[in-house]
């Protein structure tokens, strides 16, 4: 079983407003992202929420997703990843970790990562664009405990550094694997392109 964890617990300080609720393709960004993920080959989606959790839930009404709360209001991305991993239903083979502000994620990217994992059994599948690694990433279940217990300082980058021979890079033609929405200018550029 392939699951997805969508990270939606951030406070959007650099954006100045909750970026996951900004409109993208006629709906809140988080809804657009979850829809794309669900169009891919995943069997379940868990959304990690925190600050603005009630508003994120409201934006996803009607979608078949589960929610888990990150109780650490000031937590980093790794803390949300850990919350998501602990909440996944058993059994699962791999998990797609999707930043909640990556409005450029597509079902095609998710499909390519899952296909690479299934074909090679690599421990970590990472999309690349012109040689640069991006997101989302797919992590095999065998790395679950390591993610839960290690790499506090480096986050998921530490996992990749610890297992270079297990990383399967999947070349993409879409620069969107490198993009996220941190600042207003990022949002304007991405929203305009997706429209």
For residue 14, say if its preceding peptide bond is cis, omega within 30 degrees of 0: no
Buried b (16+ CB within 10 A) or exposed e, 165-191: ebbbebebebebbbbbbeeeebbeebb
CB 30 within 8 A of CB 52: no
Please give the Cα distance from 126 to 149 (Å, whole number).
21
Range of the domain at 132: 2-194
CB 12 within 8 A of CB 29: no
In CATH, what number is assigned to the domain containing residue 113?
3.90.550.10
CA 155 to chain centre: 14
In a structure prediction context, what are the per-residue pLDDT tens digits for the chain, which is 195 residues long?
999 999 999 877 778 778 999 999 999 999 999 999 999 999 999 999 998 999 999 999 999 999 999 998 778 899 999 999 999 998 999 999 999 999 999 999 999 999 999 999 899 999 999 999 999 999 999 999 999 999 999 999 999 999 999 999 999 999 999 998 888 899 899 988 887
* Structural domains counted in the chain: 1
């Amino acid at each position: 079983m392939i699951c997805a964890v969508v990270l939606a617990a951030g406070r959007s300080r650099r954006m100045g407003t909750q970026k996951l609720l900004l409109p993208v393709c006629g709906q809140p960004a988080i809804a657009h992202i979850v829809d794309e993920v669900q169009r891919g080959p995943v069997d379940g989606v868990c959304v990690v929420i925190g600050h603005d959790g009630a508003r994120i839930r409201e934006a996803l009404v009607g979608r078949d997703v589960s929610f888990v709360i990150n109780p650490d209001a000031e937590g980093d991305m790794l803390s949300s990843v850990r919350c998501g991993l602990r909440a996944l239903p058993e059994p699962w083979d791999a998990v797609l970790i999707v930043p909640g502000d990556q409005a450029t994620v597509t079902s095609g990217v998710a499909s390519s990562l899952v296909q690479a994992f299934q074909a090679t059994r690599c421990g970590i599948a990472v999309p690349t664009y012109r040689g640069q690694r991006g997101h989302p990433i797919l992590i095999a279940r065998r790395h679950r405990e390591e993610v839960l217990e290690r790499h506090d300082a480096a986050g998921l980058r530490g996992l990749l550094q610890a297992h270079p021979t297990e990383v399967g890079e999947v070349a993409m033609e879409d620069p969107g694997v490198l993009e996220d929405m941190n600042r207003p200018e990022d949002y304007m550029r991405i929203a305009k392109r997706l429209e």
